[in-house]
Chains A and B, each alone.
Chain A
Amino acid sequence: MIQLAGLDRTYVVGGSPVLALRNVHLTIDPGEYVSIMGPSGSGKSTLLHILGCLDRPTAGSYRFAGEETAGLTEAQLSRLRRHQIGFVFQFFHLVPRLTAAGNVELPMIFAGIDPGERAQRVRQALEVVGLTPRAGHRPDQLSGGEQQRVAIARSVVMNPALLLADEPTGNLDSGSGREIVGLIEGMNQRGLTLIVVTHDPRIGERARRRIQLSDGLVVSDQTSP
């Protein structure tokens, strides 16, 4: 589903180029559970952003579901993110003025799904993450773990093929963190391709396939039997 070939990403910082990713070759199949690990500055977040089509590579090729993304317009990339990719962030990124249900509904509003179907899918998504009783609460009335569960419900409500999680437990206590990991692993078991970026080895080791980045280079790529 994902094919990266000779991928570079260069930033210009203070006039001098910085190589965030160097010559990355990677193929990820549908349904895989992949963790991307490495110290901060190793390029793992950059890689995640490129995989999520929020950022474009400076050189090389990124094919998503067989299609080269370099040739897609902004609007086509938006459509790809809308229908194929779900994001979970370290800081949740919930809209503070909307309720839990409103936050889950958000992607469907902009996708033009009609209100009846939206309400039904919000209910299902909140039920999957176990937040049905909290549907009417705003983010500031929810605990960190609950907020992240809302974010997960939001990320899967459009039935994406790929779920990208950027340090999903980085801002949570270990108990809530375990719940969150359990939730997204559950999504993976139902067929969703899951890519988790983390610097926490206890989270990273759980993935069947573990990729280590260092200074923008893939230094190891191990798959458990």
Chain B
Amino acid sequence: MRFADLLRFAGGGLRGHRLRTFLSLLGVGIGVASVILLTSLGEGARRYITGEFASLGSNLLIVVPGKTETAGFAPLVSTAPHDLTQNDAQALSLRVPALRRVAPLVVGTAAVRAGERSREVTVVGTTREMLEIRHLKMSIGRFLPGGQPDAAVCVLGARVQRELFPDENPLGKLVRIGDWRFRVTGVIAPRGTSIGMDLDEVVEIPVDTSLRLFNRSSLFRILAEVGSHDEIERARRRVIEVLRERHAGQEDVTVLTQDAVLSTFNQILGALTAALAGIAAVSLGVAGLGIMNVMLVSVSERTGEIGLLKAVGVTQAQVVAVFLVEAAILATAGGCLGLLSGLGAGQLLQQFYPEFPFQPPAWGIPAALSVSCLVGLIFGILPARNAARLNPVTALMRRKA
């Protein structure tokens, strides 16, 4: 028997009972659509996080005070870590040639006031290098001045500017941060959240000024950009070496590379996607039962036809093939339906959340289609065998084919 004829005959069988066919199509469709949609969510989250990290700059090292043990025992004797200081940052930029730029980071919160308006913001103390390291763009004015001035100047995040100076150009205006007055030199272009810090909601000031403002001597972080991606690991070891030397031989800093953080996130979110796919697969299984039910009804309804097929010399294997192919067509067509509606729903959600990349993982589409076809084949086995095992004599006793 030719495969095209088999497909045509099985397809004809499905057209015989349109409503039932449509309902079981719908069942598989919903299953596949939910697989597509949920994996799109998971994959979207992964892409979103990855994209966020990429916006940090791809060759970034982050120096954090304190040693984070990722393996083995916690040390019995806790050694208080040395603070990270301005001098540490300077030493790194001088002694580690692989670092192209180094920026210290101080973070605090303070009330910012302009005239009658006031709000609480995150104040970031840093240097001019930050502009390049974090790929910031200015919408107006200039970023912080170069060198390490202790100057009363500040740069506003986009939303801070909107709220404090809704109708006027803030350049050259004075704002009050805590008890001190600062002159606005620029506004950062809107950028949105980047790794937990909404850059539109910050005010940036020179690092020395921030240390005095918050009455501190130590840095929160040191950010450094490595010249080329291949040098990251070497630069990381060198940074630790320099800082150990400076911290009386103690290795009391942790240097995060973007790769390490990224691969951790990748793993977590990959697992999340797989878990979501698993949940959605349950609905595919239920749809499979629906197909089995429809096929069982179809077999008992078409007893006469099956008897006739046997009388004209159709073999048991061919009867099995006819009903299996019917189930597979049903499931695969449902799969296509679900694929389209799943992708469509993703597009729709995309309209509402333009920043979030709804997109199924590369394996999602072929997997959804092959799994739905497989579901049809597996849940079609029982009905097909029932059909093949019908006794032709009793099957033909029915009045109708």
CB-based contact B15/A110 at 8 Å: no
| CB < 8 Å neighbour of B393 from A54, A75, A81 | A54
Give the total of B residues in contact with A, Cβ under 8 Å.
Answer: 29
A173 at the interface (CB under 8 A from B): no
Chain B residues with CB under 8 A of A55: 392-393
Q: Is the interface of B mostly helix, strand, loop or mixed?
A: helix
Chain B residues with CB under 8 A of A75: 315-317
CB-based contact A112/B396 at 8 Å: no
CB-based contact A114/B2 at 8 Å: yes
CB-based contact B313/A98 at 8 Å: no
* Given A97-B16, A98-B12, A107:B312 Cβ within 8 A: yes
CB distance from A71 to the nearest CB of B (A): 17
Chain B residues with CB under 8 A of A83: 313
CB-based contact A54/B315 at 8 Å: no
CB-based contact A87/B312 at 8 Å: yes
* Given A54-B396, A83-B313, A93:B1 Cβ within 8 A: no
Within 8 A of A (CB), among B351-401: 392-393, 396, 398-401
A57 at the interface (CB under 8 A from B): no
Complex: chain A residue closest to B388, CB-CB: A74
Within 8 A of B (CB), among A72-126: 74-75, 78-83, 85, 87, 89, 91-98, 106-107, 109-112, 114-115
Complex: chain B residue closest to A74, CB-CB: B316
CB-based contact B317/A81 at 8 Å: no
CB-based contact B401/A96 at 8 Å: yes
CB-based contact B311/A110 at 8 Å: no
- Give the interface segment out of B77-85, B224-232, B242-250, B301-309: B301-309
Within 8 A of A (CB), among B291-308: 304-305, 307-308
| CB < 8 Å neighbour of B312 from A49, A97, A110 | A110
CB-based contact A81/B316 at 8 Å: no
Tell me the bound Cα distance from A140 to B67 in angstroms.
85
A38 at the interface (CB under 8 A from B): no
B318 at the interface (CB under 8 A from A): yes
B314 at the interface (CB under 8 A from A): yes
Complex: chain A residue closest to B2, CB-CB: A112
- With a 10 A CB-CB cut-off, give which of B310, B312, B393, B399 has the most chain A CB atoms: B312
Tell me the bound Cα distance from A92 to B398 in angstroms.
11
Tell me the bound Cα distance from A75 to B2 in angstroms.
18
Within 8 A of B (CB), among A167-220: none
Chain A residues with CB under 8 A of B13: 97
B22 at the interface (CB under 8 A from A): no
* Given A74-B315, A75-B317, A97:B309 Cβ within 8 A: no
B5 at the interface (CB under 8 A from A): yes
Give the total of A residues in contact with B, Cβ under 8 Å.
Answer: 34
1/0 contact string of B48-83 vs chain A (CB within 8 Å)? 000000000000000000000000000000000000
| CB < 8 Å neighbour of B309 from A89, A110, A158 | A110
CB-based contact B401/A81 at 8 Å: no
Tell me the bound Cα distance from A78 to B2 in angstroms.
17
Chain B residues with CB under 8 A of A110: 1, 309, 312-315, 318
CB distance from A195 to the nearest CB of B (A): 14
CB distance from B325 to the nearest CB of A (A): 13
* Given A55-B393, A95-B401, A81:B1 Cβ within 8 A: no
A52 at the interface (CB under 8 A from B): yes
Complex: chain A residue closest to B4, CB-CB: A115
Tell me the bound Cα distance from A93 to B318 in angstroms.
19
Within 8 A of B (CB), among A39-60: 49, 52, 54-55
A154 at the interface (CB under 8 A from B): yes
CB distance from B197 to the nearest CB of A (A): 66
CB-based contact A78/B304 at 8 Å: no
- With a 10 A CB-CB cut-off, give which of B309, B313, B396 has the most chain A CB atoms: B313
Chain A residues with CB under 8 A of B305: 93, 95
CB-based contact A154/B312 at 8 Å: yes
CB-based contact B396/A93 at 8 Å: yes
Tell me the bound Cα distance from A154 to B308 in angstroms.
11
CB-based contact A93/B401 at 8 Å: yes
Tell me the bound Cα distance from A142 to B16 in angstroms.
18
1/0 contact string of B167-194 vs chain A (CB within 8 Å)? 0000000000000000000000000000
CB-based contact A91/B12 at 8 Å: no
Chain B residues with CB under 8 A of A139: 401
24 contacts between A and B (CB under 8 A): A54-B396, A55-B392, A74-B316, A75-B315, A78-B310, A78-B314, A81-B311, A81-B312, A82-B312, A83-B313, A89-B396, A91-B398, A91-B401, A93-B311, A93-B396, A95-B308, A96-B16, A106-B309, A109-B1, A109-B2, A111-B313, A112-B2, A154-B312, A158-B312
Excluding A54-B310, A75-B315, A111-B1, 13 further A-B contacts by CB distance (< 8 Å) are: A54-B393, A74-B316, A78-B310, A79-B315, A82-B314, A87-B311, A91-B399, A91-B401, A92-B401, A97-B15, A106-B309, A109-B1, A110-B1
